[in-house]
Amino acid sequence: GVGWGMMITYGSYLPKTQNIVTSSLWVGAMDTSVALLAGLMVFPAVFAFNMSPSEGPTLVFSVLANIFQEMPLGNIAGALFFLLLFLAAITSTISMLEAPSA
């Protein structure tokens, strides 16, 4: 799929001295850590706002909207969060376009 083309493109930028096994372990560990921290943030908020945990992938956006609504300066924090989320999505899309154009 598309992901394999991106991995090949990213791999072409690695220096020859880079230890791929170590890098892979770090990426896996950091990805898992961030996912666990996100779960520790989202699920308590789900139950605090009396929401159903079976809503699926859209649950995090509903919960975050409620969290930002309750925060002081939550409108600004929410706008910045979703702007940064949008920028992360756009930069990921740009990297997808690099494989076919290279």
DSSP structure string for 56-87 = -TTHHHHHHHHHHHHSTTHHHHHHHHHHHHHH
**Element (H or E) spanning 55, and its range?**
none
Structural domain count of the chain: 1
Q: Which domain holds residue 73?
A: 2-101
pTM for the whole structure? 0.66
- What is the per-residue pLDDT across 23-65, written as a single tens digit (0 to 9) for each? 999 999 999 999 999 889 888 888 888 888 887 888 888 888 8
Q: Confidence class of residue 1 from pLDDT cuts 50, 70 and 90?
A: low
Q: Which residues of 10-39 are buried (b: 16+ CB within 10 A; e: fewer)?
A: eeeeeeeeeeeeeeeeeeeeeeeeeeeeee
User: What average pLDDT does range 78-95 have in this prediction?
Assistant: 89
